[in-house]
Amino acid sequence: MDPQPRFVAALAAIQPLEPALITALLTRVRPERWPAHHRLLEAGQVARRLYFLESGLVRGYTLRQGREVSSWFMREGDFVLAIASFFTQTPSEECLELLEPGHGFSVSYEQVQQLYHDFPAFNFHGRVLTERYYVLSEARARHLRAQSAAERYAQLLRDFPTVFQRVSVQHIASHLGMAPETLSRLRSRS
């Protein structure tokens, strides 16, 4: 028997999953493989799928005055979605792009809603994941408002030590809210 995908273990770590729910999940998810630079979502599209990364790295970004501004990076073991668009089923302001080849699984908005209906205990998993990602979003906004450039840089290195091996300096600088030159100066000091 094949081992279960990592997303099952990630969900079970929140709260154990009943066998019928595991079966329902495995019959609804779609295996996915993506090349580097593949876009899971473009601005203006409705986020119709929730993704789980078995491998790879996704960047969430918005376009501001024709510039890409990186909001976040998600890597293997993470659930990935444009939260506002997915839950409201309205056009997204956010783009989701693979920065390196990856694979994982996806499930549609309708399938998630059906799982919530068929397995009320699964609503707990959804709530915990939504809370987790909301807290991360709030922490990022707070860091941009309250921390110096050097503090934001140090925090990123604590949270994602291999970021410079996997993400371009341009994307990291925009994520940290600084010019690439400022980031280069900070890197040279550490």
Written as tens digits, the pLDDT of the chain (190 aa) is 356 889 999 999 999 999 999 999 999 999 999 999 999 999 999 999 999 999 999 999 999 988 999 999 999 999 999 999 999 999 999 999 999 999 999 999 999 999 999 999 999 999 999 999 889 889 888 887 888 888 888 989 998 999 999 999 999 999 998 999 999 998 888 7
User: Would you call 143 exposed, middle or buried from its count of C-beta atoms within 10 A (0-12, 13-18, 19+)?
Assistant: middle
3-state secondary structure of 81: coil
Domain with residues 6-146, CATH architecture: Sandwich (2.60)
Q: How many CB atoms lie within 10 A of CB 144?
A: 12
pTM of the predicted model, to two decimals? 0.90
